[in-house]
Structure 1
Amino acid sequence: MTSNSDLKDKNDSRKILIALTVLISILTLSVILLSPSFMEIISTGFSPGIDLKESAVISFFVTLILLTILTVISGDGLLGEVQFVLIAFFVFFIIIWLMTAWIF
């Protein structure tokens, strides 16, 4: 004879099996329904991005804003650090320009 705890374990096992079956069927249905959108996202991610001209404009303004913020925060201002700011501008500009063109 089966005891009361065995019947409770059987019922719990059935409930877990039903819950897992429902979850797997919902997951399968959602994958089937979302696959066209997922393929569109993937194709957008691998499409050609911006060219070097657009990237140069973006990187110029990003570098200008970034270096202005850095020089104001540094305390000496723009005039005290101008020799370092000019070098940093060109280095930041080249790095941000090429990384923007490569990533996007």
Structure 2
Amino acid sequence: MSRDQDDTGKLAIGLAVVVLLAAIAIYLMLPLMAGFINAHFSPGLGMKDAAVIAFFVTVAVLVVFAIAAGDGLLGELQFMLSGFLGFFLVLWLMIAWIF
């Protein structure tokens, strides 16, 4: 039983060292990552314009999905509302970031 405790202790210490080294590496990379993000990800279409585009694209895609599902627009309403929110948010942020 003491051998298992020794192995567990060594594993815990090794894991703590790895987590500490990863945290230090992330902390040291923050200035480099901030410069990279500012240089490559800051230009974009804008949040307001991207929201308008994402809204209409999301509505069009979900209407096609509802018709293809076979129940029409009202049969899938509970799923379409949550799908609309998720799809809209992802599409909105991706359009604002890419364009």
TM (norm. structure 1) is: 0.54
Q: Match for residue 59 of structure 1?
A: 54
The question of 1:79 aligning with 2:53 is answered no
Deviations 1:21-72 (A, max 9, x none): xxxxxxxxxxxxxxxxxxxxxxxxx993310000000000000000000000
Indicate how the Cα distance of structure 1 residues 47 and 79 shifts in structure 2: closer, same or farther if over 3 A, else same.
Answer: closer
Match of 1:3 in 2: none
Identity rate of aligned residues, in percent? Answer: 56
Q: Mark the runs of 5 or more structure 2 residues left unpaired by the alignment.
A: 1-40
Cα distance in 2 for residues equivalent to 1:84 and 1:91: 11
Query: CA RMSD for the aligned pairs?
Result: 1.6
TM-score (norm 2): 0.56
Q: Count how many residue pairs are aligned between Structure 1 and Structure 2.
A: 59
Runs of 4+ off more than 3 Å: none
The runs of 5 or more residues in structure 1 that have no matched partner are 1-45
Q: Whose radius of gyration is greater, 1 or 2?
A: 1
